[in-house]
A and B are shown apart, each in its own frame.
Chain A
Amino acid sequence: MPAPLLDVKGLETQFKTPDGIVHAVNRVSFDLQEGETLGIVGESGCGKSVTMLSLLRLIQSPPGKITAGSAAFSGLDLLKMSNDEIRHIRGAEITMIFQDPMTSLNPVLTVGLQLAEPLMLHLGMDRKQANARSAELLEMVGIPKAKDRLGDYPHQFSGGMRQRVMIAMALSCSPQILIADEPTTALDVTIQAQIIELVKRLRDELGMAIIWITHDLGIIAGLAKRVIVMYGGFIIEEAPVKELYAHPEHPYTIGLIGSLPRVDEAGHHRLVSIDGQPPILFERPEQCPFAPRCKYAIDRCWKENPALAMVGYDHHRVACWVDTKTGSARG
């Protein structure tokens, strides 16, 4: 396998709060190959967004702090760079689109100005070139009459159109990695389908790698090549997409897939529900973070936190002491 484009090792991020230190991201390691689409799945508060914000050094400090880890990107460590250096990576080499396009666009600047800004900053274009390129970009993301809309403000666009503007902005400097943080959660399903189709088309045309963060296992199934499942700030399972859906190993992943009703499924079965609540990590757990909700839990789960280990074949990794197929401890 060629050297990965991005190689994250042992990332830890903590937040100081009045109630204590929240261990939001713990020993997170993963890599990303060139042109690959990686899905990161988890419920709210599982640390998926904080992981990405940490990589781009967008964690506000204080209260947040990256306490350990490295993130190698084209020979450099993102976590050790100066602020100036990371600024040249952010928005040019690695870009991000967010869940809510209304709050992530500046409401008092025209869309044209906001699109032109990274072009002038990172690519050194002048105003005229930047404007021409902005119009091209809007056209590329499927906004009709792109040239005439450069003078419009974000509120004059619909939700789906705003997300298209965000995507145009994120792709303006031909990044190597696009991080998408639940970009379709706020949109209706028919608009969501439009946006996913657009991202797939642009991925094939431009060849960037994508990290797609979501809580929706349905979206990931049709989009990603490899999936990481996070729980309580830890990666608990990682596998190629088909392998994960066909043979989930971790009890949490099994529960998550079982709790989803399917639009293509006839008949009625009771949904598998996972009892209890997701944890808030005020203490770095010595035990498995999922143990309190796990029906497979054995003694060891309450004493030691399992590390990710390869199971079977095909780069399937899971952090669990129990072999869920047999219900007994892994040998």
Chain B
Amino acid sequence: MSEDNVILRVDHLVKYFPIKRGIIIQKQIGAVHAVDDISFDVKRGETLGLVGESGCGKSTTGRTILQLYRPTSGSVIYDGVDLVKLKGEDLRHMRRKMQMIFQDPYASLNPRMTVGEIVGEPLIIHKIASQKEVEEHVSNLLELVGLNPSFAARYPHEFSGGQRQRIGVARALALQPALIVCDEPISALDVSIQAQVVNLLEDLQKQFNLTYLFIAHDLSMVRHISKRVAVMYLGVLVEMTSRDNLYANPMHPYTQALLSAVPIPDPVADEKRQRTILVGDVPTPVNPPSGCRFRTRCPIAVPMCAEARPEFRQLRPDHFVACFLAK
């Protein structure tokens, strides 16, 4: 695939959150290693799924890419521009092209603004449309996401979770972005509503050639929506490849365990399955294990795993794995 197809390049991205002690005189006593040196590309028009369990740093990655958090080090190159170096007006200008859909449709909409104000606000902030034009834009956007344009005068509390998520999608689309970071956009919704929102996201992607970074913990939904999938564990990427490769031939022991833990809604297929049940919990990112982050729960770990961090290397064409033992 040619270089200019890459819309977003994340290069050695690191984000630590300081842990401080003291009320008046604060001293940093440690750091949460939320994202620790990850690199990947996202290609124009594709959906890259980013999966991992809670606390693995997948949401922090999404927010750091959009510069909602400024990274500790590393670069985020969008269309050839390093966002990390941008400030103020320049950064705001770039933000038009990247939007976010949040997990919680209850917390991410201001309860004191009408739907029209919420969806239209980005247009006003970025001075794209006059007050009059905004109304028209808003009703087009609402129609696009399958809501009645007359809803613009109502408040978020009048809507169900699925409808609110549609409002969130309309707001993200307002500035006609090329990249949308979807941070668990369906995990708060009921099963029958999840399919509605996922189908909407897929339709919009086709219509506007959108690129999605789809962050989720639900591996079956990620398989459904993504073209490529990256698996994260405790702040690092452990495996990244095309969707079919990942699910047919997972190479990292964590990916293998994760896939085998997902319930299959089919009693016959479920009976035939081999399961790997991991022991223990995810260690704390404040003090992550030395060497390979996964070694404390890994069923096949060897002494070498404690000594050095395995490189995120390309084992097959377009198949990256961070494990010494993968071949």
Residues of A in contact with B (beta carbons under 8 Å apart): 43-44, 158, 160-161, 188-194, 196-197, 215-219, 221-222, 241-242, 245-246, 255-257, 259-266, 268, 270-275, 277-278
Given pairs A222-B271, A273-B196, 16 additional interface contacts (CB within 8 A): A158-B281, A161-B281, A189-B258, A189-B262, A191-B281, A194-B279, A218-B220, A218-B264, A219-B263, A221-B264, A241-B267, A245-B266, A259-B191, A260-B220, A263-B262, A275-B196
Chosen A-B contacts, 18 in total, with CB atoms closer than 8 Å, are A158-B281, A189-B217, A189-B262, A190-B261, A190-B277, A191-B53, A192-B261, A221-B265, A221-B267, A222-B264, A242-B268, A245-B265, A245-B268, A260-B220, A261-B198, A263-B259, A277-B163, A278-B192
A256–B265 Cα distance when bound, in Å, is 10
Contact status A44-B195, CB under 8 Å: no
A142–B162 Cα distance when bound, in Å, is 39
Residues of A within 8 A of B160 (CB): 277
Q: A221-B265, A222-B264, A260-B265 are in contact. Are A190 and B270 (CB under 8 A)?
A: no
**B306 contacts A by Cβ under 8 Å:** no
A221–B271 Cα distance when bound, in Å, is 9
Residues of B within 8 A of A242 (CB): 267-268
Contact status A222-B267, CB under 8 Å: yes
A264 shortest CB reach to chain B, Å: 5
| B contact patch SS | helix
A142 shortest CB reach to chain B, Å: 9
Contact status B275-A193, CB under 8 Å: yes
Contact of A277 among B53, B162, B264 (CB under 8 A): B162
Residues of B in contact with A (beta carbons under 8 Å apart): 53-54, 160, 162-163, 190-196, 198-199, 202, 217, 219-221, 223-225, 244, 247-248, 257-271, 275, 277-279, 281-282
Q: A221-B264, A261-B224 are in contact. Are A194 and B190 (CB under 8 A)?
A: no
Q: 4 tightest CB-CB pairs across the interface, nearest first? A: A218-B263, A261-B224, A193-B261, A259-B195
Residue of B nearest to A184 (CB): B263
B260 shortest CB reach to chain A, Å: 8
B87 shortest CB reach to chain A, Å: 37
A277–B263 Cα distance when bound, in Å, is 26
Contact status B261-A222, CB under 8 Å: no
Contact status A189-B199, CB under 8 Å: no
Residue of B nearest to A198 (CB): B277
Contact status A261-B267, CB under 8 Å: no
A177 shortest CB reach to chain B, Å: 22
Residues of A within 8 A of B264 (CB): 218, 221-222, 262-264
A93–B251 Cα distance when bound, in Å, is 47
B24 shortest CB reach to chain A, Å: 27
A197–B276 Cα distance when bound, in Å, is 11
Contact status B199-A190, CB under 8 Å: no
A165 shortest CB reach to chain B, Å: 14
Contact of B191 among A43, A190, A191 (CB under 8 A): A43
